[in-house]
């Protein structure tokens, strides 16, 4: 990684030997580092999807180091879709890359949207400072795979008020026994957050400031 301020294409190496397409931007001085995981590949999700792109652009512009990537089998990433199993290695490869390439004192956050949010919850890498989860369905994998759930580090769930898959009241019930987890409803939004992404920018700023 370089310290140039501007998006740069790169590749990530997974533990099972795949090369993943990625993009990052890391200013010389950055207040935080954020990995962003994209929504479901079988429904058109990739690292350029709406919420991922919105957060990436906002965070880069506000002086954060940011990395986004394509899961296996998406875009130029090698491999095939693995229904949430191999993708856990993809998330860890992204976290490892940003952890290795940025200033150690800057908080490192794992974020994701939808499928990507659920996959983020499977990673409890020691370098992480917390999780920022946008519209997590909380059903891509079994609850026992969410390693972050009992972890004491902070978890904010940005849940659209009209989410078609996991609205705020349902999400609140699902995380009732999680450690240090908060639901933050996104008013007027559904799962796809069209026209409401500005609210996410303000919310992730609040999360980073609270770390």
Residue-wise pLDDT for 144-181, tens only, equals 899 999 999 999 999 999 999 999 999 999 999 999 99
Instruction: Identify whether 1 is part of a domain.
Output: no
Q: At 73, which CATH number?
A: 3.40.50.1820
Domain membership flag for residue 36: yes
Residue 3 forms part of a structural domain: no
Q: Residues 121, 139: contact at Cβ < 8 Å?
A: no
Q: Is residue 20 part of a domain?
A: yes
Neighbours of 195 (CB within 10 A): 10
Answer whether residue 132 is part of any domain. Answer: yes
- pLDDT at site 144: 81
Given a cut of 60, whether residue 103 has pLDDT beyond it is no
What is the span of the domain harbouring residue 186? Answer: 8-210
Q: pLDDT at residue 102 above 80? A: no
The verdict on pTM exceeding 0.85 is yes
Contact between 120 and 45 (Cβ < 8 Å): no
* CA angle (30, 35, 41) in 5-degree steps: 150
Number of folded domains that form the chain = 1
């Amino acid at each position: 990684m370089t310290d140039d301020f501007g998006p740069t294409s790169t590749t990530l190496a997974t533990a099972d030997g795949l090369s993943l397409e990625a993009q990052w931007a890391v200013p010389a001085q950055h207040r935080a580092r954020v990995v962003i995981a994209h929504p479901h590949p079988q429904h058109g999700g990739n690292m350029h999807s709406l919420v991922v792109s919105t957060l990436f652009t906002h965070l880069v512009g506000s002086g954060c180091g940011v990395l986004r990537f394509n899961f296996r089998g998406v875009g130029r990433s090698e491999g095939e879709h693995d229904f949430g199993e191999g993708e856990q290695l993809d998330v860890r490869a992204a976290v490892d890359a940003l952890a290795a390439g940025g200033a150690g004192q800057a908080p490192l956050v794992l974020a994701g949207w939808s499928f990507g949010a659920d996959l983020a919850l499977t990673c409890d890498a020691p370098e992480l400072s917390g999780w920022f989860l946008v519209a997590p369905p909380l059903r891509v994998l079994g609850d026992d795979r969410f390693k972050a759930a009992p972890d004491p580090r902070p978890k904010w769930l940005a849940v659209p008020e009209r989410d078609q898959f996991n609205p705020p009241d349902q999400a609140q019930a699902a995380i009732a026994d999680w450690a240090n987890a908060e639901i933050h409803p996104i008013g007027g939004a559904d799962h796809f957050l069209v026209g409401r992404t500005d609210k996410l920018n303000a919310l992730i700023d609040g999360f980073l400031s609270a770390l």
